[in-house]
Structure formats: C-alpha cells, structure tokens
Amino acid sequence: MRNNGRNVNLQMRDCVWEFQGKKSGVDSAFVRGCMINSMGKLCCLMAFFFLHPLLAQTPAMEKVAPRSHELSQVIGTQIISAPYRLTNQPALIEMAKALREMGSDILKLSVSPKYPELYHLKPNPDIKSLRDLVTKESSFPSVFDMPFRHIMLWVYPFSDSLQQFHNGKLPQKEADLIYRELYDFTAHLLTTYSGSGKSFYLGNWEGDWHTVKGGDLRVDATPESLRIMREWLLLREKAVSDARRNTDHKDVKVFFYVEINLVKKAMREGRPAIVNEVLPYIKTDFVSYSSYDVTKGALKTGGDAGRKELFEAMDYIEKHLPPSDLVGKRVMIGEYGVTLESVGDAQAQAQQVAQMMRWGLEWGCPFVLYWQLYCNEINEQTRKHRGYWLMDDQGRKQPVWNLHREFLRKSHDWIEGYEKKHGKPPRQIEYNKAAIDWIDS
C-alpha cells in the first residue's frame, strides 16, 4: 500500500512470514531468488502457493472492496497488546491478519517505547524514535502495508519522559524534542503512504489518568495537572498540524485526536476533567472516549434508559469540542468492553456488545471500537482471563467475534451494492442508519 512500487515485495514478505511461522523449512535460497528477480516475483508467488501444502492450507484473507473515499465501517476492535500468541508469526502480524480475516478495515495499535513488552519484540538499540520504530522494526510497516483504511495509533514519543505529569514541568528542551519527533513521524506517514487512500489517527491513551494520581476516581485533577495536560496536547497537536501543512502528500490523511476517559463526573457533578477543562482549548480533529465510566452502567440498565445515559455523555463531549472544518461527528467510542467474567455466558456477552454497537451507530459515531482482540486482564483470584476478547487464549473464536464478522460481511456487501446502484459512495450518516439493521437481523 505504500507509494514506492513495492507491492509485490510486500506480498512476498507476507508469504515468508507464513513459512517462518509454520517452520516449513522452505529453502531460503529459493526465497532470496524470488525477491532478487523482479520479473519473477509473481511466478514465485504462484509457485509457493501450488507447491507448498502449508501455504495452500492457509485461509485467504478477504479483501476489502477498494474505496477511495473516507467512509468508516465504524465497528472494529484493537490490538494494543499481545497477552498471548497463537502462532509463531510476529505478534503484530498475527493479530493484524486476524483482523483482516474478520473483514475489518480498521487497525488500532500502540507505537511507543514499550513495543518490546507489548508485542513480544526484541529491543533494538538503533530504535530511538517513532520514525525509527516504524522503519526498523519490520512488524510495523508490515501491518501498515496491509489493506487497512483507518489506522489508529496510541503515539508516545521516545523523547517524552511523561515526568511532566508528576513534577508539573515540561522543560523546553524536552518539549522541542517531542515536537520534532512527532513532526518527523507525521511527515513520514504522509510521505510514505502518499497515494494509498489511508487515514492515520495519532492520539493518546486515556488522558484523564495522566492528570489523576493513582488512577483514583475519588481524586480530582488539580489545576496544575490540567495546565500541563493542555500544554502537552497543544504541543502534540501543533507537531501534527505543522507537518501536515509543510509536507507534500496526496490521498493520505493524518488526523490528531485526544482520548479522554472520565466524563461522567464532569457531566453529572461539574468536577474538573479533560472534557470540560482542557478539550475546549485543543484544536483536535477527533475525540476518542474510553467509555467505561458510563457504558458499564448503561449496559446494566439497558433499553432506552441505557441508551439515554450514553447519548448524554456523547452529547456532553461534543458540546465541548472546538469547531473544525471536518464534516460530521467527531466523537468516537475508542474503547468499550464487556468481560465474559461479568456476564457469565458468551452469548450474553455478545448481546451486550451488540447493544453498544447499535447505540454507537445510532448516535453517529465515526468509530466504535471493542476492547480488544486478545484479553489482557487476568482475575487475580482465579488466575483466569477475564474475557475481554474476540479470540480466547486457545484460539477459539467467541460469539462476539462472529458478531463482528457478520456485521462486517454485511457492511462490505451493502457498500458495494450502494455504489453500483448510485454510482457514488454513501454518506456516513446513510451508512450508520443502514448498519443498525445488520445488528438486529
């Protein structure tokens, strides 16, 4: 998908990953020969497929119908970490391929100095920046090159110590380094993926936890911590905005977003949080709502009353957004989840997830993202996974996986039919309205 004429090489690399993951023992000289002889690349791919039984048995990933416009399928998930692995492939590639098999064109992952622990990768001393990470650690360009249309990233520069949230100061030298690293990363995405039709979204993890010591809901953010948060977000936004303005590119977009997670206490009690004290001052393209503070209660309430609780929170966030020239809704549900442990039954879990999908579509969210592909939480007493998953640690696809897969199948079919009938893509509001019925049926 990158604008460098390497599409066949990328296909070849995916084949090599498959063989490495299955320890096939294919002659490495044969692989090298394929990659050296540019005229023979396609023939080598065909030879791999027909001559090697392991590749022939690998299920083909369904391709997303090509679309040049920015329509979002809305419903998706994320691969922020790999708590367990199901193949011998690199963790990021394994999980991204699972998303493609599910039919998703949305990818969400972390790009940060924590890459070794999040994705079971060896630390590389030559990786000293975000740009280094996505160029020198092959897993990242491999998944970026897959046909995902919307790629969301938790982005934390290597130069950012995050100590400003503990000592109340962001030294100018560190601020300059953060700015330059984010600027360079944004410029890299715009240049490398120019012409790809992709959209990248650069944001943070649940921002309110950066402002509240100890992650205690009873504690309010101080004026000082909120001031630092404003300074930090404005710096990040400026780096992305400046790079967009100064870098030549076409048919690729990089958006900036802010993720918040403590909305209920601000909305109901007027207590200080990012949504009411910081967000109005940030020229952000989108807001991501990690929505557990409202959605856990709303799902328990259910019905129209639960829907109303969520809509009140989404409307409250939207009210505090500064204006933008972007068309349509700009508040996404960046995280929601239902543990199998909390409901006791996989079908009940899928029913609650379906409810959230439906509510998000009805409100008009551009994205509604489930947490997550693989469960990252263990019950300390039972030592079992709590069940924040689409696939369990034995590789079994859960009913909530099937729910997503069926929705995305209908999404592809509907979009294709709409474009054939009308000769143009649907508007996002039309898509969301139609998509509600795919969950009910």
Q: Is 19 left (phi over 0), alpha (psi -120 to 50) or beta?
A: alpha
Q: Give the pLDDT score at 380.
A: 92
Instruction: Extract long-range pairs of 120-129: CB within 8 Å, 24+ residues apart.
Output: 120/82, 120/85, 120/90, 120/91, 121/90, 121/91, 127/158, 128/158, 129/157, 129/158, 129/159, 129/181, 129/184, 129/185
CA distances from 38 to 8, 13, 33, 41, 43 (A): 9, 14, 9, 5, 10
- Cβ distance 393 to 103 under 8 Å? no
Judged against a pLDDT cut of 60, whether residue 67 lies above it is answered with: no
Average pLDDT over residues 208-220: 90
Structure token pair of residue 393: 């640690």
- In a 13 Å sphere around the CA of 429, the CA atoms on its Cβ side amount to 4
pLDDT of residue 319: 98
pLDDT higher than threshold 60 for residue 56: no
Q: Of residues 340 and 30, which shows the higher confidence score?
A: 340
Q: What is the structure's pLDDT at 258? A: 98
pLDDT of residue 84: 97
Q: Is the pLDDT of residue 231 over 50?
A: yes
% of the chain residues with pLDDT over 70: 84
**CA dihedral in degrees (193, 198, 199, 203; nearest 10)?**
-60
Q: What type of residue sits at position 127? A: I
User: What digits encode the pLDDT tens for the residues 77-135?
Assistant: 999 999 999 999 999 999 999 999 999 999 999 999 999 999 999 999 999 999 999 99
Q: How confident is the model at residue 37 (pLDDT cuts 50, 70, 90)?
A: very low
Mean pLDDT of the chain: 87
* Chain centroid, CA 298 distance in Å: 24
Q: Which two tokens stand for residue 326?
A: 């972007």
Per DSSP (E only), the strands in 277-321 are 286-290
Tell me what pLDDT residue 439 has.
Answer: 93
> How large a percentage of the chain has pLDDT more than 90?
82
Please report, as a single letter, which amino acid is at residue 114: K
Q: How far apart are the first and last CA of the chain?
A: 35
pTM: 0.86
288 φ/ψ angles, rounded to the nearest 5 degrees: -105, 130
CA distance 170 to 87: 42
Residue 39 confidence class, pLDDT cut points 50, 70, 90: very low
Confidence (pLDDT) at 128: 98
- The residue with greater pLDDT, 20 or 285, is 285
Question: φ, ψ for residue 137 (rounded to 5)?
Answer: -105, 105
Is the CB of residue 90 less than 8 Å from the CB of residue 17? Answer: yes
pLDDT at res. 17: 38
Predicted local distance difference test score (pLDDT) of residue 3: 53
Mean pLDDT (whole number) for 402-420: 97
> pLDDT tens digit string along 141-186?
999 999 999 999 999 999 999 999 999 999 999 999 999 999 999 9
Provide the pLDDT for residue 367: 98
Whether the per-residue pLDDT at 30 is higher than 90: the answer is: no
Mean pLDDT of 273-293: 98
| 3-class DSSP state of 90 | coil
pLDDT given at position 69: 54
Q: How far apart are CA 194 and CA 175, in angstroms?
A: 28
- pLDDT tens by residue, 357-404: 999 999 999 999 999 999 999 999 999 999 999 999 999 999 999 999
Among the listed residues 309, 373, 426, the one whose alpha carbon sits nearest the alpha carbon of residue 72 = 426
234-263: pLDDT as tens digits: 999 999 999 999 999 999 999 999 999 999
Tokens of 224: 């000082």
In which element (H, E) is residue 167 found?
Answer: helix 164-167
Phi (first) and psi of residue 102, to 5 degrees:
-70, -20
Q: Do the beta carbons of residue 292 and residue 338 sit within 8 Å? A: no
Lowest mean pLDDT among 202-206, 302-306, 324-328, 405-409: 324-328
Higher pLDDT, 62 or 350: 350
Supply the pLDDT for residue 301.
Answer: 96
